[in-house]
Chains A and B, each alone.
Chain A
Amino acid sequence: MTRILPTSLLIAALLLFLPAWLTAQEASIPAERIYDAGQLKPMDSTLKVKVGDPAPEFSLPTISGERITLAQFRGSKNVVLSFIPAAWTPVCSGQWPGYNIVQDMFEQTDTQLIGISTDNVPTLHAWVQEMGGVWFPVASDFYPHGQLAEALGILRSTGETERALLLIDKEGIIRYIDVHDINSRPDLGPLVKAMQELKE
């Protein structure tokens, strides 16, 4: 019995500490937690705004607990709204971790990035935590459901939003729109180019 004890302790130690150590190492989402929705209709809404239009005002709750508004950036920062269709889906789970390494490009062009989906705040919180956190605010357009997305004309018939990027200047005018095929990730290049042009 005394010989078994150290082995049992070792098992207990392994069981206790290895998962914690692994979690600490792992900052992107394990494949089994991602819901693969398969190939979807590329677009399922009709855009209601165009470049040159004033952007609709919004006030949305964020995962940090505060609300975020477009008005708070008026006169100080350009704003990029990155709409993703849903938390816990494949393309979306890659898109924001990519934006995570280009914070400097947003800062150099006086641009505030805001991530948005129609998921509720707790879901967005859990998902963003799972991806290891992001530097930009993540806002929920959950209730009234998809109000901002509907105002822009990017709310799909199933309640998710399109995969869309909008650049709004310091005066609140929309300067760039990319409503992308929901199944693929938009190239970062054209967005950054638009941000830089706005800065000049």
Chain B
Amino acid sequence: MRIPSAFLVLLIFVLYTNASAMQASDNAASHPLPVGSLMPDLLLRGELSPEHVNHLGFKGPAPRQLSEIKASTIILVAFSMYCPHCQREAPALNELNELIKNRGLADEVKLIGVGIGNSDFEVQVFRDKYATTFPLFSDPDFKVNKEIGEVGTPFFYVLAMNPEKKEIRVVKTLLGRMESAESFFDQALKACE
């Protein structure tokens, strides 16, 4: 009797924590790129500050290709100004960016956001509202989202860059909010090994 009960407790717990982990505005048509597959060389559009142009190693303002970002790892978060989960995740995203800096990895790991279905204006609203510290791009016509698998938001892609082979490979994905910035970052680094 004891074993089935304990199993039931475990099952209930796993089911509920999974439900709570996936705090996202999901998209029924979503088909994220699987881990191990290649990420297309996305065209990134939007308004970047000179500091962010510099930080990403771009030769000039956007539009720029994803492959032009100087990094060994890119954490790309698909978000929307209109998605309440993304609104609530905004402080944790800044925390993640701080974590990258504090661990001395700012040159190797770059965090970027793409506002799915968001105009430059709407991305600027998000940037102002949440004092976002990392570069945000816009995607007013969902062009980027079509290339990355029409994902729900927030959606995280951890990407390993291989400039010699001209490859950008998906090494980790997450739909919904991070459990914590720290645990996500640890998992992301591990996935890159």
Complex CA distance for A8 and B140, rounded to whole angstroms? 52
CB distance from B174 to the nearest CB of A (A): 17
CB distance from B131 to the nearest CB of A (A): 13
Contact at A188–B122, with CB atoms within 8 Å?
A: yes
CB distance from B40 to the nearest CB of A (A): 23
Complex CA distance for A22 and B20, rounded to whole angstroms? 6
Contact at B5–A4, with CB atoms within 8 Å?
A: yes
Contact at A14–B9, with CB atoms within 8 Å?
A: yes
Closest A residue to B142 by CB, please name it: A184
Contact residues, A127-161 vs B (CB, 8 A): 131-132
Residue A66 is within 8 A (CB to CB) of chain B in the complex: no
Q: Tell me which of B2, B12, B20, B25 has the highest count of chain A C-beta atoms within 10 A of its own C-beta.
A: B25
- B81 contacts which chain A residues (CB < 8 A)? 98, 101, 188
Contact at B125–A102, with CB atoms within 8 Å?
A: yes
Known: A14-B13, A25-B23. A4 touches B83 (CB 8 A): no
Contact at A28–B25, with CB atoms within 8 Å?
A: yes
Contact at A187–B129, with CB atoms within 8 Å?
A: no
Contact residues, A1-28 vs B (CB, 8 A): 3-4, 7-8, 10-11, 14-15, 18-19, 22, 25-28
Complex CA distance for A101 and B16, rounded to whole angstroms? 29
Known: A4-B2, A95-B82, A132-B84. A11 touches B20 (CB 8 A): no
Sorting the interface of chain B by its residue count into under 10, 10 to 19, 20 to 34 or 35 or more gives: 20 to 34
Complex CA distance for A77 and B20, rounded to whole angstroms? 41
- A65 contacts which chain B residues (CB < 8 A)? none
Closest B residue to A184 by CB, please name it: B117
CB distance from B101 to the nearest CB of A (A): 26
- A188 contacts which chain B residues (CB < 8 A)? 81, 119, 121-122, 125
Contact at A14–B28, with CB atoms within 8 Å?
A: no
Closest A residue to B121 by CB, please name it: A189
Complex CA distance for A192 and B81, rounded to whole angstroms? 15
CB distance from B61 to the nearest CB of A (A): 19
Residue A36 is within 8 A (CB to CB) of chain B in the complex: yes
Residue A31 is within 8 A (CB to CB) of chain B in the complex: yes
Contact at A22–B16, with CB atoms within 8 Å?
A: yes
Contact string, B1-39, partner A, CB cutoff 8 A, digits 1/0?
A: 110011011001100100110010110100000000000
Contact at A11–B23, with CB atoms within 8 Å?
A: no
Closest B residue to A193 by CB, please name it: B121
> Contact partner of B5 among A8, A19, A105, A185, CB < 8 A?
A8
Contact at B125–A14, with CB atoms within 8 Å?
A: no
Contact at B121–A187, with CB atoms within 8 Å?
A: yes
Q: Which A residues contact B (CB, under 8 angstroms)?
A: 3-4, 7-8, 10-11, 14-15, 18-19, 22, 25-28, 31, 36, 94-95, 97-98, 100-102, 105, 131-132, 185, 187-189, 192
18 A-B pairs with CB atoms under 8 Å apart are A11-B8, A11-B12, A14-B13, A14-B16, A19-B16, A26-B20, A26-B23, A27-B88, A94-B82, A94-B83, A95-B82, A98-B80, A102-B125, A132-B84, A185-B82, A187-B121, A188-B81, A192-B121
Q: Which 9 pairs from chain A and chain B are nearest by CB?
A: A189-B121, A98-B82, A28-B84, A7-B5, A94-B82, A187-B119, A31-B26, A18-B16, A97-B84
